[in-house]
């Protein structure tokens, strides 16, 4: 094989590998796009979905009823994020393009949530859950 032909084969292999790698990072079937940020979301049927991106959550305040709260954390960003509810055992972690799920039982009251990746909460990745 001539040198130019070898170079073309090498470039084709690199291009194919880059394409496969980009597809593989989406978490199984497409990228996650976070909705526009809102001040308040209400949990429906004891469940809430929170979307994280660089560097924000799509919600500031979550309203929920006392009892079990199922949380889905979607990461529409390009870096890892967490969702931790203070004074509970719930801490979800997701890599870019991935989703994590968990649940926690909450009594009436107010709970803080934040991303525990160093520096993220201080940049605004935090909020409040109001449980009635």
If asked whether residues 78 and 102 sit together in one domain, one would say: yes
Given a contact cutoff of 8 angstroms between Cβ atoms, the answer to whether 35 and 104 are in contact is no
Provide the domain limits for residue 9.
1-30
- What is the rounded CA–CA span in Å between residue 117 and residue 114? 9
Given a contact cutoff of 8 angstroms between Cβ atoms, the answer to whether 90 and 67 are in contact is no
Q: Find the CATH number of the domain harbouring 104.
A: 2.60.40.420
For residue range 14-56, what is the model confidence (pLDDT) as tens digits?
Answer: 444 444 333 333 334 458 999 999 999 999 999 999 999 989 9
If asked whether residues 25 and 46 sit together in one domain, one would say: no
Q: What domain count does the chain have?
A: 2
If asked whether residues 6 and 48 sit together in one domain, one would say: no
If asked whether residues 11 and 76 sit together in one domain, one would say: no
If asked whether residues 79 and 122 sit together in one domain, one would say: yes
If asked whether residues 13 and 64 sit together in one domain, one would say: no
If asked whether residues 13 and 46 sit together in one domain, one would say: no
If asked whether residues 63 and 15 sit together in one domain, one would say: no
If asked whether residues 96 and 120 sit together in one domain, one would say: yes
The pTM of this model reads: 0.76
For residue range 71-118, what is the model confidence (pLDDT) as tens digits?
Answer: 999 999 999 999 999 999 999 999 999 999 999 999 999 999 999 999
Closest CA to 120 of 78, 57, 72: 57
Residues with Cβ within 8 Å of 48's Cβ and at least 6 positions away in sequence, in order, are 41, 62, 64, 69, 70, 71, 72
């Amino acid at each position: 094989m001539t040198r130019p032909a070898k170079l073309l084969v090498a470039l084709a292999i690199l291009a194919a590998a880059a394409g496969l790698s980009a597809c593989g990072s989406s978490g199984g079937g497409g990228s996650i796009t976070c909705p526009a940020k809102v001040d308040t979301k209400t949990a429906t049927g004891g469940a809430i979905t929170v979307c994280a991106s660089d560097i924000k959550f799509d919600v500031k305040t979550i309203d929920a009823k006392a009892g079990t709260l199922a949380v889905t954390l979607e990461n529409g960003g390009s870096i890892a994020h967490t969702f931790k509810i203070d004074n509970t055992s719930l801490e979800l972690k997701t890599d870019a393009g991935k989703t994590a799920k968990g649940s926690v039982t909450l009594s009436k009251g107010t709970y803080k949530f934040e991303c525990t990746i160093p520096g993220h909460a201080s940049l605004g990745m935090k909020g409040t859950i109001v449980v009635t």
